[in-house]
């Protein structure tokens, strides 16, 4: 949770996630999209991986990175639910969400 929000606080890291949302990429392909050095990108990728937002798989000499969408959506949605409970729900979508939540016993309390 802390690691996720910390990871998302960097524009570069959010941009990396956006790239990975469209396609898996190698570390080098990601680095090529930024002005900063490769080691700097590697560090960002490490932060994202520790936060569980991306996964990596080594294939030969390349390391392929993938988005871990569940970790992202679960954390953010869960947080929104926690801070903006039922009182003032999300918006339109909240109706469906609240219904879904009513079905299973709540263990979301941080």
Partner DNA sequence: TAGGTAATTAGGCAATCACTTAAACATTGA
Partner DNA sequence: TCAATGTTTAAGTGATTGCCTAATTACCTA
Residues that bind DNA (CB under 7 A): 6, 9-10, 12, 26-29, 31, 35-47, 56, 58, 60-63
Choose the contact partner of 105 out of a copy of itself, DNA, none; CB within 5 to 8 A by kind: none
Choose the contact partner of 46 out of DNA, a copy of itself, none; CB within 5 to 8 A by kind: DNA
Using the minimum distance from each CB to DNA, give the nearer residue, 31 or 81: 31
Tokens for 93?
């979508």
Cross-strand partners of 55 = 66
Q: With contact defined as beta carbons under 8 Å apart, do 24 and 56 qualify?
A: no
Q: With contact defined as beta carbons under 8 Å apart, do 65 and 26 qualify?
A: yes
**Closest distance between a copy of itself and the C-beta of residue 56, in Å?**
18
Q: For residue 45, give the nearest of 61, 22, 68 by alpha carbon.
A: 68
Using the minimum distance from each CB to DNA, give the nearer residue, 25 or 72: 25
């Amino acid at each position: 949770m802390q690691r996720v929000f910390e990871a998302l606080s960097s524009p570069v890291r959010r941009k990396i996630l956006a790239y990975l949302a469209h396609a898996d990429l190698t570390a080098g392909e990601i680095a090529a999209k930024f002005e900063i050095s490769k080691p700097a990108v590697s560090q960002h990728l490490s932060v994202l991986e520790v936060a569980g937002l991306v996964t990596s798989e080594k294939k030969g000499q390349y390391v392929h990175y993938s988005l871990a969408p569940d970790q992202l959506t679960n954390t953010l949605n869960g947080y929104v639910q926690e801070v903006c409970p039922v009182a003032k729900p999300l918006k339109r979508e909240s109706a469906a969400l609240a219904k879904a939540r009513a079905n299973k016993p709540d263990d979301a309390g941080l």
